[in-house]
């Protein structure tokens, strides 16, 4: 996953993940942690398969 791919996925899905965990005050922190894990694992980016990972 390139930096550009990561930015695209982050911009597209961050709000959805944050809203999913909205019930907690830590929603933004949890959403950021999801993307940090994706970046650290260096997952191969495929636009059709990224949403199930999130």
Per-residue pLDDT band at 53 (split at 50, 70, 90): low
30-35, Cβ contacts within 8 angstroms, sequence gap of 24 or more: 35/6, 35/9, 35/10
Kindly write down the DSSP assignment for every residue of 6-22, as one continuous string: HHHHHHHHHHHHHHHTT
Predicted pLDDT at 1: 76
Per-residue pLDDT band at 50 (split at 50, 70, 90): low
* Residue linked to tokens 């695209």: 8
As to burial, measured by CB atoms within 10 angstroms (0-12 exposed, 13-18 middle, 19+ buried), residue 4 is: exposed
Kindly state the average pLDDT of the residues 38-53. Answer: 72
Q: Full-prediction pTM beyond 0.95?
A: no
């Amino acid at each position: 996953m390139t930096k550009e791919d990561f930015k695209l996925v982050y911009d597209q899905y961050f709000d959805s993940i944050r809203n999913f965990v909205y019930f907690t005050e830590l929603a933004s922190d949890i959403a950021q942690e999801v993307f940090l894990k994706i970046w650290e694992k260096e997952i191969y980016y495929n636009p059709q398969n990224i949403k199930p990972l999130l």
